[in-house]
Amino acid sequence: MTALLWLLFLTMVVVDTWAAGAVVSSSATSRGLRAPYAAAALLALAATVATTGFLSYFWNPDTHVYGWPIPRVIFQRDTADSPWLDYVGPTVVLAYPMNFIVYMFLPSLVFISIVLLRRKREKRAHI
């Protein structure tokens, strides 16, 4: 299961990088897409800050999670009278960029499809 999640996340990294490269490139197909892509990136950044930095919820009465979908920190306790123990892993630092990649995945798919459709039309026009 862990390997599948890593494969999914690395796929998201590749798609996001491909979309950024396709939109930022100076080709005719990507013209006019820079401003909407920048707006989508700003919205993803705002969602990342809001959900990773300020969202907290109780998974169950003895588990308190900060951040979503990739948590920043998780506090757990054995019973209601026990002290809260924290799990602090690498996600404290990596949760923000990882969540940004997750939030940019769907917009990246949309922008890649637009660029590919425009390239297809350009090829048809030159024939």
Alpha-carbon distance of 64 to 61, in angstroms, equals 8
Q: What is the pLDDT of residues 93-127, one digit of tens each?
A: 899 999 999 999 999 999 999 999 988 888 888 76
| Total number of domains in the chain | 1
- Look at residue 14 and tell me if it is in a domain: no
Q: What is the pTM of this model?
A: 0.87
| Closest by CA position to 9, among listed 115, 116, 97 | 97
Is 32 part of any domain?
no
Contact between 115 and 33 (Cβ < 8 Å): yes
Domain annotation covers residue 6: no
CA distance 64 to 85: 10
Number of helices (H) and strands (E) in the chain: give both, helices first. 3, 4
Domain assignment present for residue 8? The answer is no
**Residue 45 lies inside a defined structural domain of this protein:** yes
**What pLDDT is stored for residue 26 in this prediction?**
67
- Domain residues for the domain of 82 are 37-126
Residue 43 lies in a domain: yes
Q: Phi/psi class of residue 66: alpha, beta or left (left: φ > 0; alpha: ψ in -120 to 50)?
A: beta
Residue 4 included in any domain:
no
Q: What is the mean pLDDT of residues 7-14?
A: 96
Q: Per the domain annotation, does 28 fall within a domain?
A: no
Mind listing the pLDDT tens digit for each residue in 46-56? 999 999 999 99
Q: Indicate the pLDDT class of residue 13, thresholds 50, 70 and 90.
A: very high
